[in-house]
Amino acid sequence: MSQDKNIILIDEFKKHISSINNSNVLIEEKNIFSKKFLVPLYDELKKVDVAHKKELGIKINNYKKMIDDIVEERLNNIEFEKLNSIKSEFDPMIPVDYLQSGSLNPVQIVTDQVIDFFERLSFDIIFDNEITTTDLNFTKLNIKEDHPARSLSDTFYINDKELLRVHCTSVTAKVLKEKNKQSEIKSVAFGNVFRKDDDDATHSHQFNQIDIVWVKENISISNLKWLIDALMKHLFKKNTKTRFRLSQFPFTEPSMEVDISCFACDGKGCNVCKKIGWIEILGSGLLHPSVLESAGIDSNKYSGIAAGLGIDRIVMLKYGINDIRYIYENDFRILKQFRGK
């Protein structure tokens, strides 16, 4: 029995479309073929006698179904090939550019180390607004009206009464006022402070400070010396020594500068300590009675120890950074050196 010539035509159509890779072109080809193929069959259906009409009708429907199935299969293959071709562009063997991952900024690293130290001593850790009042920033801290620190050329004023804080001691002033009914106040304030300085290797208009205060009955300079000594050993080396020199700050009496033995040469003298074996690190003292009184704390009953230090200075010393601007530029080449520190 010879094969149905229509089946042969459909087979040829199937071969023809096997190389088509575009679904729109495929649909177009289907329409062209169906027209060419089916029109003569419908013409035949009109002419055929009633006895064979049904049989021919079924055949035509089968042909149409075959064409639909063939086109459907090819459409699926086109989609599949498209997906495969995308996959083939992915080559897991090509070397990649590693994502640049930085690290915590060294300011944050040192801040975390200081927080860790004071949390263990149950101090309140405080980050307050960078905008404060002249009252908290100066008046409550015994900084008189004519003190040069208040000058327009040193301070970023917002208006007569508000400014960008020049030190975190303004936060301490606020804490003392808010907690003046407590028998003990232990607080550490962290954050940015602002001064009208031209930016160079050792100056920045914005830097980070820590301000520490501990108020209670009978707290004394020995407590201050112990606290600072323990903090320096925690931040630098276990054998770090501290020495206190008399100084002058408006909000402490007596006031003392603190030096630490050089961590780079253990006090023998090197470039880090400029050959003197000691490094100036912070200011501290006993809170001035007028600061306690301004906060509503009885200075006859209570005393307070206080210290303020620059985080940036510690960062620069600790990691041997000789330009403060490196700390704030967030350059990956700098930051990646602090991974895991």
Phi-psi bin for 266: left (phi > 0), alpha (psi -120 to 50), beta? left
Please identify, using beta-carbon distances, which residue of 56 and 270 lies nearer to Zn ion.
270
* Residue 317 binds Zn ion (CB under 5 A): no
Is residue 264 within the footprint of Zn ion (CB under 5 A)?
A: yes
Among 26, 104, 270, 321, binds Zn ion (CB under 5 A): 270
The tokens of 62 are what?
Answer: 């089968």
Whole-number Å distance between alpha carbons of 126 and 237: 26
Is the Cβ of residue 120 or residue 268 nearer to Zn ion in the bound state? 268
Interaction between residue 280 and Zn ion (CB under 5 A): no
Q: Does 273 bind Zn ion (CB under 5 A)?
A: yes
* CB nearer to Zn ion: pick between 10 and 270: 270
* Phi, psi (rounded to 5 degrees) for 17: -80, -10
Tell which one of 8, 25, 201, 272 touches Zn ion (CB under 5 A).
Answer: 272
Interacting span for Zn ion (CB under 5 A) from 88-96, 181-189, 195-203, 266-274? 266-274
Nearest to 293 by CA among 177, 212, 188, 187: 177
**Phi and psi torsions of 240, nearest 5°:** -65, 135
- The answer to whether the CB of 138 falls within 8 A of the CB of 162 is no
The nearest distance, CB 226 to Zn ion, in angstroms, is: 24
**260 forms part of the interface with Zn ion (CB under 5 A):** no
Distance (Å, whole) CA 44 – CA 41: 5
Stretch of 222-230, 234-242, 272-280, 301-309 lying at the interface with Zn ion (CB under 5 A): 272-280
Q: In the bound complex, what is the minimum distance in angstroms from residue 277's beta carbon to Zn ion?
A: 6
The secondary element (H helix, E strand) that includes residue 42 is: helix 23-47
CA distance 111 to 323: 19
Q: Which is nearer to Zn ion, 131 or 270 (CB)?
A: 270
User: Dihedral angle at the C-alpha atoms of 151, 128, 135, 308, nearest 10 degrees?
Assistant: -60
Instruction: Identify the H or E element spanning 38.
Output: helix 23-47
- Selected from 66, 78, 104, 265, the binder of Zn ion by CB under 5 A is 265
What is the Cα Rg of the chain in Å?
41
Does residue number 163 form part of the binding site for Zn ion (CB under 5 A)? no
The span of 22-30, 64-72, 259-267, 294-302 binding Zn ion (CB under 5 A) equals: 259-267
Q: How many residues would you count in the chain?
A: 341
Contact flag: residue 262 with Zn ion (CB under 5 A):
yes
CB of residue 173 to Zn ion, shortest distance in Å: 36
User: CA angle at residue 24 from 20 to 25, to 5 degrees?
Assistant: 40
Minimum distance between the CB of residue 272 and Zn ion, rounded to whole angstroms? 5
In the complex, residue closest to Zn ion by CB: 262
Question: Contact residues for Zn ion (CB under 5 A)?
Answer: 262, 264-265, 270, 272-273
